[in-house]
Each structure stands twice: as C-alpha cells, then as structure tokens.
Amino acid sequence: MSPSQDLLARSRAAVWHPCTQMQRHETLPIIPIIRGEGSWLYGEQGVRYLDAVSSWWVNLFGHNEPRIKAAISRQMDQLEHVILAGFTHRPVVELSERLGALSGLGHAFYGSDGASATEIALKMSFHYWRNQGQPEKTRFVHLENSYHGETVGALAVTDIPLFRQTYAPLLIEGLSVPCPDNRHTTAERDAKQLAEQAAQAVERLFAAQHQQIAAMIVEPLVQGAAGMAMYHPHYLQRVRELCDRYQVLLIADEIAVGFGRTGRFFAHQHAEITPDFLCLSKGITGGYLPLSVVLTTDAVYDAFYDPDVTRGFLHSHSYTGNPLACAAALAVLDIFEQDQVLQCNAQKAVAFTQQLQGLCDLPWVTHFRHCGMIWAFDVVCERNDFALAFFREMLQHECLVRPIGKTVYFMPPYCTTEADITHFYHATRASLTAVCGNQTTPSHITSDLKMA
C-alpha cells in the first residue's frame, strides 16, 4: 500500500468527515493534502489544486502566509492560552478595540466557531429583552434559504432542508421571510424593487407579531450556503428601519461575508447601517485558527450591566478569546492596512469578472453573478449527480470546487492571481463541457437570462 492509500484507509476508519455520507468514500477517494502555498494546495506526487473555495471560506490571504505565522509564533512564546473569565491579555483587548473601531460596535464576546457566534447572538438578544422587562420576546426571524450554522440553536434559524429536516423535531420554530434573491428579478421588477417587496413582507410580520419577536438574523448581501444568493442593499436599509420601528434587534451574520469578501470590510456597510449584533468568524484569523466573535452596542451591553448576577450573560466556551487566535486576527487586520487589501481586491475583481464572464457563452451557464470576491453561476444540466461529477472533473483540472447543488461558485483567497483565474476559467469550461456536454441544450435558455 502506498503511503497515500494508507492514509486514506486510516482516515476512512478513524475520521468521521464533516457534511459527508461516509459510505460514498467507498468509491470516492479522500484527498490527502501535504502543504499549502498561496492559493494552491499540494498533495502527493506533485498533484496540486487551486483552492477556489478558500478552504471552506476561511482563508483570506493564501496558505503559508508569513506574517500570520510570525504573529502566532511570537504569541506562542509569550502565552498560548489563559482563562478569560476574570483574566485578560493584550491580544484580546487590542482585537476588541480594533474590531470595535471598524464596526462601531464596542463590546466583543468571543466563541470558537461560527455556530457558537450565532448561538451567542440569539441568546443575548432574547436575554436583552428579558432584562428590559419583555420576556415574551422569544422568537427569531430568518430569511428563506438562510444558513447560520448547525448546532441546535443555530439550525433553528437555518433554512436549508438538507441540514435541517432530520433534526426538525429538536428545533425551536423560527419565523421565515422571503429572500430578495436577485435571480428573481424580471423586466418589471429590478433588484431594488424586489428588495422592497421582500421588506414589505417583513413589515407585515413585524406589525402582526413584533411583541413576540426578539431578533431578526440576516446574512448581509450574500446568502452563501443557499448557493451564493445575492440581494440589493436596499433590503438591509429597510430591515434596519423596521427593526427600529418595531423593537426587534438586528443580527448581521457576517461569518462568511465579513473581512472584505463583498468588497467592503463588512458587507452591511454597503447599506450604511449598523446592526445590533455582528457575528464574525471564518476569515477572522485568515484561516489559521478557530475564533469567532459577536460584537454589540452599548445599549445591549448596558442592559446586562447590573449587580444582579443573573442579569449578566452567563455563557462561556473554554477557548474564549484564545490569545493565539487573537494574535492571528490582529495580523489579519494589519495586512488589510499594509497591503491595501480592499483597493487591490477591487482592481482584481474587475479583471476576474471580465475573464469569468466569458463562461456565459456556454449553453449551460445561467445567472452569472458577482459580489466583491465572490463569483457564481447556475448550471442548467439534467444530471442529478452534477455537483459530484463536476467536483471530480475539476480535480482532474487541478481545481478544488464544491458546487452547491447546481450552483458553481468561485471564492478564492485574495492572493489569487490573474494567471490562477485563467487556469480556473479553462478548467471550468472543459469540465462543464465534459459533465454537461452530452445533453442537448434546453431550448428555454436565452442569452438575456444568462446575465441576470
């Protein structure tokens, strides 16, 4: 047995891989990765893959980033971890101050992953109203096709049937509102009008039930796990107004879209609003260490500040505010400044879009869309196994992609070059042709649809 086959067999035997029907790996090989460099992952015998999903949306500046490594290493020589209840340390204080300055939300509560940030925001918003003498505000509003994590509380506000259905009997019942997905625009109804209509549905719900509603949770601008569904910032402006008018707290889940992914540092900044809670994780450490944070307002913080212990937020995770993770996050913020990341990305995005738009002449490509450093399109293909077939085909072309159903997206590390994009472009063309090519082109696909 080669070392790689050996590792594969041992992984199958001992590692229960995430989001996976393990039996599939009887036929689908698990891929060992040995090292990473920039946008590329390297396996054995020289195989390599362009990391077009930023290692599940966490990597910002590429693999093996020297400045993040050095920051973690420096911190490791000082202090690897300390309890954050009753103790503090420089990295957590500095990170909280800097995130506060960037977001206008000056109080930072830490967790270790995205789902725990969602849990914190849900519990905190409910507890806020309880402390304000409104304990009947217990319900949460979420969008159709939302994704906020998969622990039992977060899953209650997640609307992806595949993740949710099995566990439905365990979940508190959320309130769902329509998503103003830009793919539903028509000649009579542009993206902003669509956003307005969706906001009116929120208004009707709030008018009827606001006395029971603690908070509304949104993924600003791009619903990632829904398949990169994008919507107009007008929706966020209207939701902010409605939350103020009806006394509902607004939770912005920027676990996927924060840290420059949409072109602004935070996605909600496109709408020039401030949420009551901002959940961050994934890119926060550049993809180096698990860390999440919920940022919130003075008003929320003050509602918990009291001699009574039970009015405090009695929630904790063992690795809360881990110094190594905070040091990585501080290095990430430094890189944003040193490298003028947002400006560089804006320039890159123009070139990338120009190139990737070329895919629209393929008969299977529809709804090509783009926001910041995210590109996506839907594939019109009869094959039920499209996602898996395309994933496998793209591996042959040295690209790591994970289609969501029939949506293909490209969400690369920011260090990705034009040469990498060209590689991705040709790989995608070839793979789509290989996977979808033997079917006849559906006649209802017209060229104007493709650019929606």
Ligand X SMILES: *Cc1c(COP(=O)(O)O)cnc(C)c1O
Window 198-237: residues binding ligand X (CB under 6 A): 219, 224-225
Q: Quick one: which of 50, 42, 13 has its CA closest to 402?
A: 50
Regarding 140 and contact with ligand X (CB under 6 A), the answer is: no
Candidates 147, 206, 277, 319; binder of ligand X (CB under 6 A) is 147
Rounded Cα distance, 101 and 421, in Å:
34
Distances (CA, A) of 413 to 67, 71, 286, 351, 410: 15, 19, 9, 15, 10
For residue 250, which of 222, 275, 229, 230 has the smallest C-alpha distance? Answer: 275
Distance of CA 157 to the CA centre of its chain: 15
Q: How many CB atoms lie within 10 A of CB 397?
A: 18
**How far apart are CB 53 and ligand X at their closest, in Å?**
12
State yes or no: residue 255 binds ligand X (CB under 6 A). yes
Q: Which positions from 261 through 290 interact with ligand X, judged by CB under 6 A? A: 281-282
> Distance between CA atoms of 393 and 390, rounded to whole angstroms?
5
Q: Of 181 and 253, which has the nearer Cβ to ligand X?
A: 253
Nearer to ligand X, 157 or 436 (CB): 157
- Residue 256 CB, nearest approach to ligand X (Å): 3
Do the beta carbons of residue 431 and residue 397 sit within 8 Å? yes
CB within 8 A of 398, min separation 6: which ones? 47, 48, 49, 50, 423, 427
Closest contact distance (angstroms) between CB of 115 and ligand X is 3
From the CB of 172, what's the least distance to ligand X, in Å? 17
Minimum distance of ligand X from residue 116's CB (angstroms)? 7
Extract the tokens encoding 257.
């879209």
Per-residue binder mask for ligand X (CB under 6 A), 97-136, x = binder: ----------------xxx--x------------------
Label residue 123 left, alpha or beta by phi (over 0 means left) and psi (-120 to 50 means alpha): alpha
Q: Which of 149, 227, 286, 403 binds ligand X (CB under 6 A)?
A: 149
What is the closest distance, in whole angstroms, from the C-beta atom of residue 343 to ligand X in the complex?
25
Q: Whose Cβ is closer to ligand X: residue 233's or residue 363's?
A: 233
Number of residue whose CB is nearest ligand X: 114
Question: Which of 256, 326, 335, 401 is close enough to bind ligand X by CB under 6 A?
Answer: 256
Residue 18 CB, shortest distance to ligand X, in Å, is 9
Nearer to ligand X, 114 or 275 (CB): 114
**Secondary structure (3-state) at 339:** coil
Least distance from C-beta 389 to ligand X, angstroms? 25
Cα angle 264, 246, 217; round to 5: 40
Give the Cα separation of 354 and 186 in Å (integer).
24
Q: What's the number of CA atoms in the CB half-sphere (13 Å) around residue 448?
A: 3
Count of residues near ligand X by CB under 6 A: 15
Q: From the CB of 112, what's the least distance to ligand X, in Å?
A: 8
**DSSP assignment of 35-80, as one string?**
EEEBTEEE-GGG-EEEETTHHHHT-SS-BS-HHHHHHHHHHHHH-S
431 binds ligand X (CB under 6 A): no
Core vs surface per residue 118-155: b (16+ CB within 10 A) or e: bbbbbbbbbbbbbbeeeeebebbbbbebbbbbbeebbb
Using the minimum distance from each CB to ligand X, give the nearer residue, 39 or 285.
285
Among 51, 119, 253, 393, binds ligand X (CB under 6 A): 253
Instruction: Return residues touching ligand X (CB under 6 A).
Output: 113-115, 118, 147-149, 219, 224-225, 253, 255-256, 281-282
